[in-house]
């Protein structure tokens, strides 16, 4: 099922959401990002992964989502196997 998006994004096409998530390993982090994004209308700006102790932290920057779509994407990430946490960290861009 596709994640929600909004026509109000046309008024602010530069707005981007930053999502932060942790996973057990790199493979699970990549799979979670890939599968969650496949169900989304989000356009990926960047994805970075780094190790934090025994976990992998992902920072995903996306655009073309409204706030509800970003929260839904974070929820989809959190539901993937091996993902420990996921949240929308903030929005940046022109307002």
Measured CA to CA, the distance from residue 4 to residue 54 in angstroms comes to 33
pTM score, two decimals? Answer: 0.81
Q: Read off the pLDDT of residues 35-93 as tens digits, 9 standing for 90 and up.
A: 999 989 999 999 999 999 999 999 999 999 888 999 999 999 999 999 999 999 987 66
Measured CA to CA, the distance from residue 31 to residue 16 in angstroms comes to 22
Question: Domain locations in the chain?
Answer: 14-89
| Assigned CATH class of 14-89 | alpha beta
Q: How far is CA 32 from the centre of its chain?
A: 10
Measured CA to CA, the distance from residue 36 to residue 72 in angstroms comes to 10
**Helix, strand or coil, per DSSP, at residue 12:** coil
Neighbours of 64 (CB within 10 A): 19
Q: Using an 8 Å Cβ cutoff, are 21 and 58 in contact?
A: yes
């Amino acid at each position: 099922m596709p994640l929600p998006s909004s026509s109000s994004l046309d008024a602010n096409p530069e707005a981007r959401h930053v999502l932060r998530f942790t996973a057990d390993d790199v493979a699970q982090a990549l799979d979670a990002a890939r599968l969650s994004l496949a169900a989304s209308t989000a356009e990926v700006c960047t994805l970075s992964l780094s190790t934090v102790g025994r976990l992998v932290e992902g920072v995903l920057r996306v655009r073309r989502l409204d706030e509800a779509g970003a929260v839904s994407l974070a929820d989809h990430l959190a539901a993937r196997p091996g993902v420990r946490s996921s949240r929308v960290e903030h929005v940046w861009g022109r307002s």
